[in-house]
Amino acid sequence: MSTDFSVPGFRAAGVCCGIKARDLDLALITSDVLAAVAGVFTRSTVVGAPVEVSREHARKGRARGVVVNSGISNVAMGQRGLRDAREMTKLAARALDCAPEQVLVASTGVIGEPLPMAKLRKGIPKAAAALDRAGLPRAAEAIRTTDTFAKIRSVTGRIGGKTVKLSGMAKGSGMIEPNMATMLSFLVTDAAVSPAFLRRLLKQSVDVSFNKVTVDGEGSTSDTVLLMANGLAGNAVLRSASSPGAGRFAAMLTELCEGLAQDLARDGEGATKLVTVEVSGARNPAQADLAARRIANSMLVKTATFGGDPNWGRILQTVGAGRVQVDLQRAEVQLGGVTVFRRGSSAGAAARRRAEARLKDHEVTISLSLGAGRSKTRIWTCDLTYDYVKINAEYTT
């Protein structure tokens, strides 16, 4: 994986403005030129003020940058929250010499606490002064909350004879169940893409990446994915799926989003294992998705995975409880590539022992063939450990 995350025409910074004492807690990302922008946001009925403001600004299709704070989410703060979110865009716009409507905003952290605007009034100009071509890694650090590592990736490819680069960062390790994005993610590219097509491409990539992640079945109030494309690569503008290079760009965007999505699951709060849940043989896509989510969110399955217990009965139980159509005489369960259930019965003690050994790995695959059709899907999750309980029992204290 590349360690050079810089994208031509973009600068970023991560600074400490005092929200989280000594940690980086404020990020600023900007394009040197007006960029096409697309956003996908939470579907929760309880949303933060930054989501409301960014939805409004993203609809315009063009932006110069995004400002993000961590530590406080600016959720459930009423009119004060909206005023504060709008002031953050104005402060950033002043520093970037652009209109406030060309700045998007995001916040993450504790719900129900007011933003310390006095600190942000000093911090945002500080971040603007620290903007750097190589600043994305520091910005990725600044948006962390309970994350144990910064999540940042990059993809490069050729489109229309031009070299195009995509880089992105994400944060999130708890309160994660995809119903849009279930975290914060900020993506930048020097490709030339029309705003309308950029929105379409982002939605497609989110559906097969961030919307296929779950840590604990809890969707956030602040879920946001933003993608800016400044066009400095010089390729012919991508306007539709028939544009030359559109397929390649879509594949690059999906590769980037899938990598970040896996990082989110890998870093689930307290997690020790990245778990890939694969479901095939479903009657239809909805049944495949339901079966995968039942498995991925089952506390019994997640704790069994943590303990290395090859208990395939818990997998079949949760799928059945979800009223998923399954033909047990044709169904098959694999743990770590080892078949432990098939043709209506256990594959035996020897298979269980082999599966138990595979469950000790840090990356585990749970596969279920339902034997009821041809639809399939994949979801990324993690195990459920003692530390998840400890982290969330003490979150605000």
pLDDT at 216 over 80: no
What is the average per-residue pLDDT within 382-397?
75
What is the average per-residue pLDDT within 327-340?
97
C-beta atoms surrounding 390 within 10 Å? 12
Task: Give 219's pLDDT tier (boundaries 50, 70, 90).
Answer: low
pLDDT at 397 over 70: no
69, two tokens: 């704070």
Side-chain half-sphere CA neighbours of 365 within 13 A = 10
Side-chain half-sphere CA neighbours of 329 within 13 A = 0
pLDDT at 116 over 60: yes
Contact in structure between 160 and 36 (CB atoms under 8 Å)? no
What is the average per-residue pLDDT within 189-198?
98
> How far apart are alpha carbons 334 and 242 in whole angstroms?
40
pLDDT at 187 over 50: yes
What is the average per-residue pLDDT within 206-223?
77
- Provide the β-strand partners of residue 282: 375
Task: Give 345's pLDDT tier (boundaries 50, 70, 90).
Answer: very high
Contact in structure between 209 and 254 (CB atoms under 8 Å)? yes
Q: Which of 214, 169, 164, 220 is nearest to 192 (CA)?
A: 164
Mean of the per-residue pLDDT values for the chain? 92
Domain boundaries defined on the chain: 10-266, 274-393
What is the average per-residue pLDDT within 140-161?
93
Give the architecture (CATH level 2) of 10-266. 4-Layer Sandwich (3.60)
Q: Which of 379, 182, 180 is nearest to 291 (CA)?
A: 379
What is the average per-residue pLDDT within 173-180?
54
Helix, strand, coil proportions of the chain in percent (round to 5)?
35, 30, 35
> How far apart are alpha carbons 285 and 22 in whole angstroms?
47
Instruction: Convert the pLDDT of each residue in 361-382 to its tens digit.
Output: 999 999 999 999 999 999 999 8
Q: What is the pLDDT of residue 218?
A: 59
Task: Give 220's pLDDT tier (boundaries 50, 70, 90).
Answer: low
All residues at 6 or more sequence positions from 212 whose CB lies less than 8 Å from its CB, including other chains: 178, 261, 377, 378, 379, 380
Instruction: Convert the pLDDT of each residue in 267-288 to its tens digit.
Output: 777 788 999 999 999 999 999 9
C-beta atoms surrounding 307 within 10 Å? 13
Q: Which of 47, 40, 162, 31 is nearest to 102 (CA)?
A: 31
Is 182 noted as a catalytic residue in this protein? yes
Name which of 11-25, 42-56, 244-258, 356-370 the model is least confident about. Answer: 42-56
SS3 357: helix
pLDDT cut 90: percent of the chain above it: 78
pLDDT at 395 over 90: no
> How far apart are alpha carbons 373 and 375 in whole angstroms?
6
pLDDT at 98 over 50: yes
**274-393: CATH number:** 3.10.20.340
Q: Which of 30, 145, 182, 276 is catalytic?
A: 182
Side-chain half-sphere CA neighbours of 260 within 13 A = 34
Q: Which of 46, 23, 18 is nearest to 145 (CA)?
A: 23
pLDDT at 183 over 80: no
